Amino acid sequence: MTDLNSQKQAALEAIAAAGTLDALEEQRLAALGKKGWISLALKTLGQMSPEERQQAAPAIQAIRAEVADALATKKSDLESAELNARLASERLDLTLPGPDMPRGTVHPVSQVMDELAEIFADLGFAVATGPEIEDDWHNFTALNMDESHPARAMHDTFYFPESDNDADGNRMLLRTHTSPVQIRSMVAQGAPIRIIAPGRVYRSDSDATHTPMFHQIEGLVIDRGIHLGHLKWTLETFLKAFFEREDIVLRLRPSYFPFTEPSVEVDVGFEVVDGKRVLGGDGDAPGHGWMELLGSGVVNRRVIEFAGLDPDEWQGFAFGVGVDRLAMLKYGMDDLRAFFDGDVRWLQHYGFSPFDQPTLSAGVGAKA
C-alpha cells in the first residue's frame, strides 16, 4: 500500500501538470488503462486471502476513485480553456461592414440565356415570351400535333384538372416547349417576324440528363422566300459564336416534327480530348464523331395557317435547343440535376460574376 500511495501522489501531480488533453490521456492510460498500475493492483486481489482482500480492496478502490476524479476535473478544465481560446480567436464582429467583394454568382442558365440573347440580337432577332401555363390549342393543336400524338399523353405532359379548362374548353397544362410562343407572336405581330423564345418548360421525365423542369430556346423566322439554306447559315453562325470556335461543322439529318416540313436534326462534329467530348471539327475525321444537338426545320404550312397567315406568301424556319444542355456542353457539367439542387458550392464553382456581361466583342463566354 505504501507503493500505491506513492504512485497515487505522483499520478496526481502529473495530472495537475498536464497541459493538453493528449498529455492527460497518457496519464489516464498509465493509471487506469488495461496495463495501468491501478488496474494491475486490482488484479492482485484474487491472489489474496479473504482477510487481506477485505483490507486492500477498499484502499485500492479509494485510490482509483481519487485518481479518476482528478482526471475528470482536469479534463473539464482543459476543455473549457480550449473552448475559450477558440472563441477568442474565431470571434466575428457582426457590427463590422460586409466585405466589398460580392458573394453571389450568376447561375449558368441565366448566363447562357444572356449569351444567346446577345448573339441573336446581333442577327436581328427580338426576344419574345409567353405563359408557362398554356392551353392545349397553342401547345399542340396550332403546332399541327394531332389528338393521337404521343406528346399529348399524360406520362409526358403535366395537365391541370379538366375543371380548370379555359372559356373555350381547351385543356390547361404546363407548356412542354416554348413553341407556343411562335404561334402567339405570329398571331399578335403578323409577318415578317424574327424572334427567339427562351424560357422554362415542363415534361414528366427525370434522370442525369432530364429534369421535370428545364429551359429551352425556340427560334423563328417568317418572311418571304425563306428556305433551308437560311436555317443552316443561322445555326452555323449562332453555334460558332456561342462556342467561340470557327471550326464548328454541322450535319443535317432528315427527321420528323409535326410543326416543320422538311424537318432536320442538327448534329455537330466533336473530338475526344482527355476523355471528354469537345465540339469542333469534322465529325467524319479520325478521332471525331457527331453529336445530336437540336431539332429544326422549315415551318409547316398548316402552322402558318393556324397563325392566320398565308403560307403561299410567307415561309419560315424554326429551331429549338435546350439551354441547360448548351450550358453543360460549353462549361463542362455532367449532371443536369445539379442545376436545380441549390448547392452553394456548385454555384460558386460554376457561377459567373454579375459583372461578366456577355458581349460579342469581348467573347460571350468570357468569365471574370
CATH number of domain containing 185: 3.30.930.10
368 pLDDT higher than 50: no
Residue 279 and residue 135 in one domain: yes
Contact, 67 vs 32, CB < 8 A? Answer: yes
Task: Answer yes or no: are the C-beta atoms of 208 and 336 closer than 8 Å.
Answer: yes
Instruction: Report the distance separating Cα 64 and Cα 57, nearest Å.
Output: 10
Shared-domain flag, residues 144 and 49: no
Could you report how far apart the first and last alpha carbons of the chain are, in Å? Answer: 76
Mean per-residue pLDDT for 308-324? 94
Q: Is residue 267 part of a domain?
A: yes
pLDDT tens, 199-225?
Answer: 999 988 766 566 788 899 999 999 999
- Which region among 110-114, 115-119, 148-152, 229-233 has the lowest average model confidence (pLDDT)? 148-152
What local confidence, expressed as pLDDT, does residue 362 receive?
A: 64
306 pLDDT exceeds 60?
yes
Residue 357 lies in a domain: no
Q: Residue 208 has what pLDDT?
A: 59
- Residue ending a domain, among 30, 64, 90, is 90
The reply to whether 199 and 335 lie within a common domain is yes
SS3 267: strand
Q: Are residues 263 and 162 in the same domain?
A: yes
* CA 196, 198, 202, 203 torsion-angle sign: positive
**Is 338 among the domain residues?**
yes
**pLDDT for res 268:** 93
* Domain match, 233 and 345 both: yes
The verdict on 160 and 80 lying in the same domain is no
**Which positions ≥6 away from 107 have C-beta within 8 Å?**
339, 347, 351
Q: Residues 134, 217: one domain?
A: yes
Tally the domains of the chain: 2
**pLDDT > 70 fraction of the chain, expressed in percent and rounded:** 94
Q: Residue 162: inside a domain, yes or no?
A: yes
Residues forming beta bridges with residue 298, ordered by sequence position: 317
The per-residue pLDDT for 221 is 96
pLDDT of residue 365: 66
Calculate the average pLDDT of the chain: 88
Alpha-carbon span 260 to 218, nearest angstrom: 13
- 364 falls within a domain: no
Q: What is the mean pLDDT of residues 3-23?
A: 88
Q: Tell me the average pLDDT across 180-190.
A: 94
Indicate whether 293 belongs to any domain: yes
Q: What is the pLDDT of residue 1?
A: 62
Percent share of the chain, pLDDT over 90: 48
pLDDT, residue 299, reads: 96
Q: Which domain holds residue 294?
A: 108-350
Average pLDDT of span 177-184? 94
Q: Determine the Cα–Cα distance for residues 106 and 348; give it in Å rounded to an integer.
A: 9
Instruction: Please give the Cα distance from 211 to 339 (Å, whole number).
Output: 10
| Three cell numbers, residue 59 | 484502499
Question: Which pLDDT band holds residue 179 (cuts at 50, 70, 90)?
Answer: very high
Lowest mean pLDDT: which of 175-184, 208-217, 290-299?
208-217
Q: Mean pLDDT throughout 258-283?
A: 89
Mean pLDDT (whole number) for 122-144: 93
271-290 mean pLDDT: 86
Assess whether 217 and 314 both reside in one domain: yes
Mean pLDDT, range 220-231, rounded to an integer:
95
pLDDT, one tens digit per residue, over 342-364 is 888 888 888 888 777 777 766 67
Domain boundary, last residue among 90, 117, 136: 90
d(CA 39, CA 23): 20
99 vs 276 pLDDT, higher one: 276
Together in a domain, 141 and 241: yes
Q: Is residue 326 part of a domain?
A: yes
CA atoms within 13 A on the CB side of 291: 18
Q: In the predicted model, is pLDDT for residue 278 greater than 90?
A: no
What does the alpha-carbon distance between residue 171 and residue 163 come to, in Å, rounded to a whole number? 9
Kindly tell me if the per-residue pLDDT of 289 is higher than 60. Answer: yes
For residues 37 and 166, state if they share a domain.
Answer: no
* Rounded average pLDDT over 88-99: 78
pTM of the model: 0.67
25 shares a domain with 162: no
Do 242 and 176 belong to one domain?
yes
Domain presence at residue 183: yes
